[in-house]
Amino acid sequence: MQYIILLTGCVNPDGMPFTTLTDVSVREKQYIEAINFYLHNTDFPIVFAENSGTDISKSNNLFPDNKRLEFLSYKGNIHKNKGKGYGEAEIINYALIHSHIITSKSNDCPIIKITGRLIVKNIIDIAYNRFIHQNSKSISVSYNSDFSFADSRIIIAPKDFYHLVIKHKEEINDFNHQYFENILSKCIMHSSTYHYYPFYYEPQITGQSGTTGEKYVSYESSFNRRLSYMVYALKKLLLFDKRFSNYKLKVYEKITYCIYFYSLKGLNIIIYQAKSFGYLFK
């Protein structure tokens, strides 16, 4: 399966509300580092779409002519009264319309949308490892506990799903607490076409939040952490189907996932108890 990576960016936020990281030089450096990471660690076509009109494609000749890398830059960072979530939706929309890489692909082509300054260290593992029966109409994001907020730092979905999200972009308004992530979640929950699945592996994200300035540090991988994440992922899968079922999981799939879930949960409890007594993972 051939993926497209879409990196969304705003080099110069120019007074955008709810933005802590405003240093243009720092932001540009982070975008360049992220682009280079995906160029050297994947073979996917990459689209970098940026809405402040800052063209970084010629930055110190860092990016040689590369047919799988496309830069889009336009003056679009103007709806500050709606916040940066609205701007994110507009960037995605611009890329869907103007990217040669994206428009050349079919509507079921999977796009990995990543916040452009962030590096997902295990991007290949995330892209190529999927749950049983997960098909081309699936959407993968990380959810919060009540499914009201879908983490938009990394999204994997078919191209036509992003068109659906864009249809709802006028509902996004950070000042009214209707964030891009809320609308993203709403589109997933109310769809009868697309199938929600958690990421098979927990994303290892490094970088810095533009909103809070928080620095993301990748976790130390371990068997116990992997096990805990699998319990979390299967729980999300089963709870989502129970609360927002749109005929995603067949009966035999539910049974299979329940067996996985309770087996892993039991193993997780055993390991936790063993750790508490100092027998394992010292």
* pLDDT tens-digit map of 187-229: 998 888 888 999 999 999 999 999 999 999 988 878 888 888 9
Residue 279 has pLDDT above 80, yes or no: no
Tell me the CATH architecture of domain 4-216.
Alpha-Beta Complex (3.90)
Structure tokens at 137: 């109409």
| Reduced 3-state DSSP string for the chain | CCCEEEEEECCCCCCCCCCCCCCHHHHHHHHHHHHHHHHHHCCCCEEEEECECCCCCCHHHCCCCCCCEEEEECECCCCCCCCHHHHHHHHHHHHHHHCHHHHCCCCCCEEEEEECCCEECCHHHHHHCCCCCCCCCEEEEEECCCCCCEEEEEEEEEHHHHHHHHHCHHHCEHHHCECHHHHHHHHHHHCCCCEEECCCCCCCEEEECCCCCCEECCCCCCHHHHHHHHHHHHHHHHHHHHHHCCCCCCHHHHHHHHHHHHHHHHHHHHHHHHHHCCCCCC
Domain boundaries, the chain: 4-216, 223-276
122 pLDDT band, cuts 50/70/90, is very high
Residue 60 has pLDDT above 70, yes or no: no
- What are the backbone dihedrals phi and psi of residue 111, each rounded to the nearest 5 degrees, phi first? -115, 130
Give the model confidence (pLDDT) of 66-101 as tens digits.
789 999 999 988 888 999 999 999 999 999 999 999
Give the model confidence (pLDDT) of 13-52 as tens digits.
988 888 999 999 999 999 999 999 999 999 999 999 999 9
pLDDT for residue 220? 81
132 pLDDT band, cuts 50/70/90, is confident
237 pLDDT band, cuts 50/70/90, is confident
pLDDT for residue 278? 58
pTM above 0.85, yes or no: yes
pLDDT for residue 282? 47
Give the model confidence (pLDDT) of 137-192 as tens digits.
899 999 998 899 999 999 999 999 999 999 999 999 999 999 999 999 999 988 88
C-alpha 207/C-alpha 31 separation (Å) is 10
Residue 272 has pLDDT above 90, yes or no: no
